[in-house]
Amino acid sequence: MNKVSLVIFEGGIPESHVEEQVTAVRKAVVLDNLEKFSKVPELDNIFLYTTYEELAMAATEYGAESQVIPAAREFHFGEALAGVIRTRSLEAVIYMGGASGALMAQSEISALARTLAVSPGAVLANNIFSSDIVGFTPASRLLEVAELPASDNALAMTLCFLHSRRLPETIGTVFDVDTPADITVLGLHPATGPNVRAVLGKLDLEPADSRLRKARETMGIPLSEICVIGRVSPGAVLYVNERLQCRMRVFSEERGMKALGRESGRRVVSLLGYLAEEVGFGSFVRALEKVADAVLVDTRVLFHHLHLDLPAKDRFNSDLLRPDAIDDPVARKITACLLSSSIPIVPGGHSLVSGGLRVITDSLVDHGELA
C-alpha cells in the first residue's frame, strides 16, 4: 500500500485591490478544503506550501503541516513540487492548486486516495490539458522528468507516460477560483464552506454579480438562447443540456492554450476575435444581442488573440465589468461594450465556461431555484 499525501500550493503577489479580493477568497477556499480533507482517513499527510504567513498559521489548526515559501515572480512550479517529493520522500501524491476543489466532497478525495494507495503507477487528473488537481504514483517518477512543468496546468501532460485517466467530471473536480467571475459563480452555490461565505459577505462584486444572476435566471427559462464562448468544456455543455431546457449556442476554441504553450508563444488565434476586429467590438456585441438572451464569454482567448499582455488588475476589473478601472485602452473599450449590452453578458476566464457552467446549472436544478 502506498502512503498518500495531499500537497497544496497557494501563493502570489497581489498588486491591486481587486487582486487582494480574489486572494482573500482563495485563502478561504484553502481553509475550507483543509477542514474537509483533514477528516479523510485515506490521507496519510497534508502539506500546505504558501507565500502567505497568516494562511500557513491558520492551516495548522486543521492538522496540516504548512511551510511559508518566499514570494517570487519567477516561481517554478515543477521544481518546487519535485523538491517537496524529494525532501518528504513521498510515495503517492494528490496535488491541488490552492483554489481548486472549492466544491469538492470528502468522498471524492477518499476515492482518489484509495485508488492511488493500490496503484503501482497511475495519474488521475481533472483536466489533462489544464490540470490543477492531479493524483499520481509513484511520486518519484516526477523526479525523473527532464523538463519539469513551469506551472501546474501542464503537470498531467508531463506525467502522461504513466497510465493516465481523467477524474470524474463534477463541480468538485472541474471548478476552481482564479478570477472575480469565479467568485461570483461560487457565491451562487449553497455548498460553499464557512470561510468562503464569511469572505464573500464582505465583497462588492457589482455590476458583475447582478449580470451573472440575470444570466442564470435566463438559463432557467425553457427555450432561452444561451451563448457560451471560449475554452468551453464539452462535458459542461452536456451537463447543461441534460438538466435545463435552454438552447445552447457554443463556440469553443483554444482549449489547452496554456498547457500547449500557445499562450506563452503568442500563437492564440480566435475566429470570433477576427470577427470583432473586422466589425468592431460594439457591432460584435450587437450581433450577440441578436442571437442570444445571455452570454458567458471566456475573454482570455480574445485578449491573447489581440496580443494584449494585460496585468491581473485589468483582467479582473474586466470580469467585474468596471471599464473605468482598466488601464489598457483596448481592454477598457471591450469591457465598456460588454457592459453596454441589453442582454446579460458575463465575462471571465476558463473556469467560467467549464466548471462554472456546471455550478450555475447545479444551483438552479438541485437547489430549487429553477424558474
Residue 198 lies in a domain: no
Distance CA 185, CA 358 (A): 10
Residue 137 lies in a domain: yes
Q: What is the pLDDT along the chain (371 residues), one digit of tens a residue?
A: 999 999 999 999 999 999 999 999 999 999 999 999 999 999 999 999 999 999 999 999 998 999 998 877 788 999 999 999 999 999 999 999 998 999 999 999 999 999 999 999 999 999 887 899 999 999 999 999 989 999 998 899 899 877 888 999 999 999 999 999 999 999 999 999 999 999 999 999 999 999 999 999 999 999 999 999 999 989 999 999 999 999 999 999 999 898 788 998 999 999 999 999 999 999 999 999 999 999 999 999 999 999 999 999 999 999 999 999 999 999 999 999 999 999 999 999 999 999 999 999 999 987 555 54
Distance CA 249, CA 247 (A): 7
Q: Are residues 258 and 303 in the same domain?
A: yes
Contact indicator for 47, 65 with CB cutoff of 8 Å:
yes
C-alpha grid cell, residue 70: 518566499
Q: What is the CATH number of the domain that holds 315?
A: 3.40.50
Residue 228 lies in a domain: yes
**342 is in which domain, residue-wise?**
207-365
312 C-beta neighbours (distance < 10 Å), count = 17
Q: Give the list of residues 6+ apart from residue 51 with CB closer than 8 angstroms, or none.
A: 10, 11, 12, 13, 68, 69, 70, 71
Q: Are residues 112 and 244 in the same domain?
A: no
Residue 181 lies in a domain: no
pLDDT of residue 369: 55
DSSP letter, residue 100: B
Runs of H (alpha helix) within 40-179 = 53-59, 77-88, 106-118, 155-158, 171-174
Q: Are residues 338 and 261 in the same domain?
A: yes
Q: Are residues 23 and 168 in the same domain?
A: yes
DSSP letter, residue 350: G
Residue 333 lies in a domain: yes
Q: Are residues 213 and 158 in the same domain?
A: no
Q: What is the CATH number of the domain that holds 156?
A: 3.90.550.10
Q: Are residues 144 and 214 in the same domain?
A: no
Residue 182 lies in a domain: no
Q: Are residues 238 and 305 in the same domain?
A: yes
C-alpha grid cell, residue 1: 500500500
Q: Are residues 241 and 165 in the same domain?
A: no
C-alpha grid cell, residue 20: 487582494
Number of structural domains, the chain?
2
pLDDT of residue 371: 46
Q: Are residues 137 and 264 in the same domain?
A: no
Q: Are residues 354 and 307 in the same domain?
A: yes
Q: What are the φ and ψ backbone dihedral angles of 333, each rounded to 5 degrees?
A: -65, -45
Residue 193 lies in a domain: no
Q: Are residues 168 and 212 in the same domain?
A: no
Residue 187 lies in a domain: no
Work out the widest C-alpha separation in the chain, in whole angstroms.
Answer: 61
pTM of the entire predicted model = 0.93
pLDDT of residue 368: 54
Contact indicator for 347, 181 with CB cutoff of 8 Å:
yes
Q: Are residues 126 and 229 in the same domain?
A: no
